[in-house]
Structure 1
Amino acid sequence: MSKDFAQTAPAFPADAVAAIARPPRLRVLAVLSALMGFASISTDLYLPAMPTMAADLQADAGSIELTVSGFLIGFSLGQLLWGPLGDRYGRRIPVAVGLLLFVIGSGGCGLSASSGQMIFWRVVQAVGACSGVVLSRAMVRDLYEGSRAAQMLSALITVMAVAPLLGPIVGGQVLAIAGWRAIFGLLVVLGLATLAALFTIPETLPIEMRRKDSLLSSLRGYGRLLMHRRLIGFAATGGFFFAGVYAYIAGTPFAFIEYYHVPPQLYGVLFALGIIGIMLANVANARLVDRFRSQRLLQFGAIGAATCGVVLFVTGSSGWGGLAGLAIPLFVFVSWSGLIVANSIGGALQDFPERAGAVSALVGALHYGCGILGSVAVSTFANGTPVPLAVVVGVAGVGCLASLLLLPPAKR
């Protein structure tokens, strides 16, 4: 790691480079991947339990789907706080505080007696979880820049994808053995374990590199960042894609389990197919980014997402192909995450190395804010069929491609 770090981050003092380089590379990769994984594991683990939760809490499908939307609201807005805190106080302490909030929120979810209580604790859980996600991306930017940052983000996402790959499968088994409340108990344990692991790696932002302005001034700085067309282009491309992904997360438990009568234990297997696609696409992105540059790969991914969205709109709305007609375009759609997410985040971070925390927070807030719209749209128009899911994902795919118009042409 020290060689890559020295070549790509000359602005850091030599002693800081040496301090960051000492821990084994696999340990740093594992901790950062775990932090990034909280966005997905917090939801994916309980997806198979959503119909059971609805029956136990005497709530309809739309109310339980709003637990996904509530999580996204907390996750989106919380990032705007953690980003400036990470730029001012370093990365580790804000992440540690966030993990404690995550543990408290997970415990509250497990003790909830109504869908309203569940939504509230999901917001608390999300505010805590997002600290690790936004600041782990900033830590990557502390260490790398340009295509190398996009490459490392792809590597992290590939490792992190194990969480959503196993999440629904593990969640389905925990549901069968101990009930849905035990799923949130497992999240408490995972939060505490990650908190302990956090302090096995060093701080990546030295004191001399931290911003000295006030938190209020940093928050006002978001307005200036929103004036950069290139940043917004990258953020919007990923944002529309996130709208489709979270429509998929909120809508497939009911579309697969209730409409097509897939057993909850097998839902995790179907969900895993899309995650395998994400992992393979991220591996491809990490290998190709130096050759084709991240913006070109982002364009290719957006074209693929738009194509899958249109196909899904046709098959899901008409019922053509049954379960396969719905599942196959969905799985291919989410697989394009491997080319879209890392490259959109890396592109946005590239121009603002001194504000990596704030930019990462803003991009993350926009991404997950769009995810809110996608999940809420599926919940609002839920009618017991896969049609709302197909329509939302179709619109999201086309919007992802259209957002590329905000970017200048990619350089060879």
Structure 2
Amino acid sequence: MKVLENPSRDEWETIVRRPTPSLQDLEPLVSEVFADIQVNGDTAISAFTSRYDRVDLDRFQVSEIEIDEAISNINPDLKKAILIAKDNIEAFHKAQQTDFKPVETTKGVSCWQVQKPIEKVGLYIPGGTAPLFSTVLMLAIPANIAGCKEIILCSPPNKSGSLPDEILFAASMCGVTKIFKVGGIQAIAALTFGTDTIPKVNKIFGPGNQFVTVAKQYATKFGLAIDMPAGPSELLVYADETAVPAYVAADLLSQAEHGKDSQVILVSNSLDILKKVLAQLDIQLRKLPRIEMAKSSIENSKLVYLPIKEDALDFINMYGPEHFIICTQNEEFFVNGIINAGSVFIGNYSPESAGDYASGTNHTLPTNGYSKTYSGVNLNSFTKAITFQKLSSEGLINLGPTIEIMAEAEGLFAHKNAVSLRLNDLTNGQ
């Protein structure tokens, strides 16, 4: 990792750039897969699964027998850990439930809002080198709490044509209705169009690699909603002299091991801390089973020395990290000042891993700077709001003239007439 010493603001835009291809780079491949699946459905999915996952499947849907076998295979300690995490995630997301009370905006005019579940949702669970069963919890739990009728899960099969036991166990615990052994672009396309086997959904959730991220964005061209563009994982840590270098290095590596296109950044007001963290990275990296993956990611990562805290905060907000760890004596300055981040972890004893697994917050978060405009997944992600209003005769008399004046000013006389007819009837006693 290269140390960048007090870079000028003119350099920041280059520094915060992510090492990922653009939508334009990958869209030709994505559009090809989508077009094939739109026409050929399951046949195309079989062909793409064979090509990209190197496995031939007779059926995509996971059977009840497979789920039962997976549940019996899970280590009891892991079962217990998953259930503890499930309880915490449920508690945090249930706390997001709101009860909107009617508001009388004008005498006789009552307005209110009701959250309704999205009926059919698709959950994409990454597989490959690290099957993320924790993501099942993060997506299926709020979907279930929200009341979604159909919760469809897709995840890429392994070389034996199955899904990890942990994914199936978590799905069975969290109300997933159907599970399919389909991954990558073809999974997103299947959820977009529907096939003879896989249902079409209304909204797609879940992180993934650069291909999945672009596929989700491409799906919106066909009327589908997505949670956010959630691509390769990233972490930014701000650390001063009060930080523990070994902890900081461990946090950076925890995200670096996700994949070669992950990115981690350390910002500090201390060159000494940067050097100590760099030394710890070298020590800890050698002990990781996924050393090659983490090494490649570290090459895309940076150590940034910014001696003035206001500059550091501006840089962090420009970067807009998916995960942001604050390890500084003056934590309040960064806690109050951060405006662009997916999830924030405060203090030496708040590792990012806590949010990834079991603290209760959701780990499906905006990456690539999208935290400037997107929130992470939450309960409202699985609902849509419907507004209601009821006007009594008194309410229309009170508010009607205002509506008439505004409608006439916009030249929309039918709008005005819809009010005027009623007011005339009320005035004439009908």
TM-score, structure 1 normalization: 0.26
| Larger RCO (CA within 8 A; separation ≥ 6) | 1
Higher helix content, 1 or 2: 1
| Structure 1 or 2: more strand by fraction | 2
TM-score (norm 2): 0.26
Structure having the higher Rg: 2
